[in-house]
Amino acid sequence: MATLTYLQAISAALRDELRDDERVLMMGEDIGVFGGAFKVTDGFIEEFGADRVMDTPLAESAIIGTAIGAAVVGMRPVCEMQFSDFIACGFDQLVNVAGKMHYRQGLAVPITVRLPSGGGFSGGPFHSQNPEAWFMHSPGIKVVAPATAEDAKGLLHAAIRDPNPVCFMEHKHLYRRIKGEVPDGIHETPMTARIAREGSDLVVIAYGAMVHVALEATEDLDGASVEVLDLRSLVPLDTEAILASVAKCSKVVILDEANATCAAGAQVAALIAEHAFEDLDGPVTRVSTPDVPIPFSPPLEQAVLPGVERVKEACRELLAY
């Protein structure tokens, strides 16, 4: 075990995989000589060489398309989108080629697409999005979103070893703020939910950076016993864990940093309404970002992103229902 930051855990997982399996290779903008925009791959090119840690042109479609070709012939490519927002430029290759290859031709496409996502650092509208719902709506693609350093490492191992395309949503605001004990070597975290805190009066369902907001907001909430369920995986979605928490707590707040319409939280709300209506003692409550681009201005950004006080208010209103 070692105490690592969220960023160091991701870097450690990549090193482990490159050392363990010669089929693993990395490609992305500035990941080699420069060591990555966030220094996740700092020193990699010296250890593994430019043929396995490849600097690419500024062309997301080419990065993903090349990775698909490499995967089909037996490699296990890991692509980095410098910011998750830029995945839009590679959308066709990921959704219409990688996501459908198994259905069309019976071929595995074991690519992992690392997507540094989320706001909280005044990055503005082109560097702060949470686009995970785009890929939840696209059959054939798995989507994971770790909240802790341990899960960042374990889920990245699981993603790289999975035969399907996996979108790995790594939240930039967690990179150097969150740290924890992380197992040494390769360990795969299952693509299932985990209970971040046990409770019985209300459950807050979240993933990624919002797990930490949920934990802070409900740490001491007027004596209420509040459960926090960390989804970890969005595709596959752990229906059993979600419904179990709803049955136990009967009141649900869904916390999602993405903008509200058709977000991951909307899918969770629909699931609960369809399968757990009789277990509810109040309306399913959602806390999310309004349908606006993320502002550059720090005060405006904080105004639109879900924060501790908004979560507390939503929980108190539901507990009093």
Catalytic residues: 127
197 SS3 class: strand
Structure tokens at 228: 């926090």
Sign of CA dihedral 107, 73, 13, 63: negative
What is the distance between the alpha carbons of residues 260 and 266, in angstroms, rounded to a whole number? 7
What is the distance between the alpha carbons of residues 96 and 134, in angstroms, rounded to a whole number? 13
**What are the Cα distances from residue 124, in Å, to 60, 290, 303, 315?**
20, 15, 13, 29
Q: Which residue has the tokens 């500024």?
A: 58
- Burial letters 234-251, b for 16+ CB under 10 A, else e: bbebbeebbebbbeebbb
| 180 contacts 3 by C-beta, under 8 angstroms | yes
112, containing H or E segment: strand 112-117
**What are the Cα distances from residue 222, in Å, to 201, 283, 315, 316?**
12, 20, 10, 8
What is the distance between the alpha carbons of residues 28 and 170, in angstroms, rounded to a whole number? 15
> In this structure, what are the phi and psi dihedrals at residue 274, rounded to the nearest 5 degrees?
-80, -40
Q: Go through the chain and tell me how many residues it has.
A: 321
Q: Count CB neighbours of 54 within 10 A.
A: 18
